[in-house]
Amino acid sequence: MANKLWHGRFKKGTHPLLEKFSESLSYDRELARVDIRGSLAHAAMLARVKLIAASDLASIKRGLAQVEKEIAGGTFVYRAADEDIHMAIEARLTAIAGEPAKRLHTARSRNDQVATDLRLWLRDKIAGLQKLLRRTQAAAVAVADREKELVIPGYTHLQRAQPVLLAQHLLAYVEMWERDFDRLADANRRVNFLPLGACALAGTTLPIDREFVAQELGFAGLCANSMDAVSDRDFVIETLAALAILFVHLSRLSEDLILWASSEWRLIKLDDAWSTGSSIMPQKRNPDFLELTRGKTGAIFGALTTLLTIMKGLPLTYNRDLQEDKTPLFGAVATAELTLTCFAEFIPTLFFDKKRAAAMLADGFLEATALAEYLVEKKTPFRDAHRISGELVRIAEDTDRRLADLSLEEMQAVSPAIGPDLLPRLNPQTLPNAYRSAGSAGTVEVKKSLARWKKKLGR
């Protein structure tokens, strides 16, 4: 008969297949450290309200310190029969500390224990992800600053649209990451409440002090309803939703960079250290890092969908289904950590082919909108201005010229409002100097954005 902490009411041992099927120890060891942190606070509280003796607390503390050491040192023996990390630690603690260890689970259930562990774990992870986001932002701001003069074609519908500063394109992602940062902070505001003391679902008849535990563990407050405390994982869903949106952003940046590095664009050449070769085509320089980021986005969305699906239709309160929250969450967080760490290292290696950028600007009538706006300044109604600019584009296109190559007479034949002062507006290279609306992609506003970001990121 297997030696289980809950075996009291059973006559037969667990079927080995069920043991294999239901264990979580192979992955929830990720929670070992926070589980010990939670137990220490719980034990301190039990001693404080005199549910255990001061000497019990001392033995538990000593025992848990040893367990922690064994786990950190890799000597801790994980036995599948222990089911999960909570049981594994308690079993080992009991072997070390004896009688006092058997009092630790007073006024506690694995239901409130695992919810507490998960919140403690997530709180730390969110703080770490936020730091990584800051590093990624700083890397992008540094490149934007280094390349602040560079003008590239901006696109809509993947068609060349208007000239923009490259810095504006990079800073667009810095803005997105700022909202990702805020979404994580906001999720964390709801992560940071203490479930412990909810026990299995109903609370307890014992005189526990939840406020004390919350303070010990640095929680902002208590989960106010015991049944809610043990059964919801909305805080996991919120974090995964924030990560899913973060990966939408990382995946779009990846796509932009894949295009820029493509043989057709040739705007960037990927650094050797961040390119991969082909096993058959010797000339290849592949953007696998970026493709993998785009690909890993699928698993992050999958984690969010998994959690939503697990929770849907789950009756109150705790059900074992909830154990399945862990692999998707741990996987998504680990992927996010690694991906952001890579981006923070990779972004500074981005260098741009200035000649290629200039050649792309020369082609595609990127100055046509500015021409229409020039006419608006000359009091032409915008709809007419749009048509006139379009007609001039057609004339230039038909004769294989650029707008700046048309003679003043040719242009005045289409609109008498056009004067020689139009010419500087027809140079896509200098056009961004003329953008003046707040937040626009030109020299004046981008300079302000760069200054704002450098200040914010302390660079």
**Catalytic option among 15, 157, 263, 407:** 157
Mark 21-60 with x for binding to ligand ARG (rule: CB under 6 A) and - for no binding: ---x---x--------------------------------
Quick one: tokens of 34?
């926070």
Question: How do 221-222 and 193-194 pair as beta strands?
Answer: parallel
Among 306, 323, 415, 449, interactor with ligand ARG by CB under 6 A: 323
Shortest CB 41 distance to ligand ARG, Å: 18
Q: Residue 239 or 389: which CB sits closer to ligand ARG?
A: 239
Write a three-state SS string for 70-124: HHHHCCCCCCHHHCCHHHHHHHHHHHHHCHHHHHCCCCCCHHHHHHHHHHHHHHH
Shortest CB 12 distance to ligand ARG, Å: 18
Q: Residue 170 or 237: which CB sits closer to ligand ARG?
A: 237
111 contacts ligand ARG (rule: CB under 6 A): yes
Shortest CB 1 distance to ligand ARG, Å: 19
Among 41, 244, 322, 417, interactor with ligand ARG by CB under 6 A: 322
Integer Cα distance of 154 and 156 in angstroms: 7
Mark 263-302 with x for binding to ligand ARG (rule: CB under 6 A) and - for no binding: ----------------------------------------
Quick one: tokens of 137?
């932002």
Q: Residue 103 or 110: which CB sits closer to ligand ARG?
A: 110
Q: Residue 89 or 114: which CB sits closer to ligand ARG?
A: 114
Quick one: tokens of 300?
């992050």
Neighbours of 13 (CB within 10 A): 14
Q: Tell me which residue of 290, 301, 170 sits closest to 242, measured CA to CA.
A: 301
108 contacts ligand ARG (rule: CB under 6 A): no
Check whether the bond before 94 is cis (ω within 30° of 0).
no
Integer Cα distance of 225 and 195 in angstroms: 9
Integer Cα distance of 343 and 293 in angstroms: 10
Among 12, 15, 320, 355, interactor with ligand ARG by CB under 6 A: 320
Shortest CB 236 distance to ligand ARG, Å: 12
Using the contact rule CB under 6 A, the part of the chain among 109-117, 172-180, 299-307, 414-422 near ligand ARG is 109-117
Q: Residue 68 or 83: which CB sits closer to ligand ARG?
A: 83
Shortest CB 11 distance to ligand ARG, Å: 20
74-93 residues in contact with ligand ARG (CB under 6 A) are 84
114 contacts ligand ARG (rule: CB under 6 A): yes
Q: How wide is the angle at C-alpha 78 spanned by C-alphas 73 and 84, nearest 5°?
A: 120
Integer Cα distance of 220 and 192 in angstroms: 6
Integer Cα distance of 418 and 324 in angstroms: 68
Quick one: tokens of 114?
């695992």
Q: Residue 38 or 442: which CB sits closer to ligand ARG?
A: 38
Report the DSSP beta bridge partners of residue 154.
162
Quick one: tokens of 385?
């201005």
Among 110, 119, 210, 386, interactor with ligand ARG by CB under 6 A: 110
Q: Residue 34 or 431: which CB sits closer to ligand ARG?
A: 34
| Contact predicate 405/391, CB 8 Å | no
55 catalytic per annotation: no
What's the one-letter identity of residue 198?
A: A
What's the one-letter identity of residue 87?
A: M
Shortest CB 248 distance to ligand ARG, Å: 29
Sites of contact with ligand ARG (CB under 6 A): 24, 28, 84, 110-111, 114, 318, 320, 322-323
Catalytic residues: 157, 278
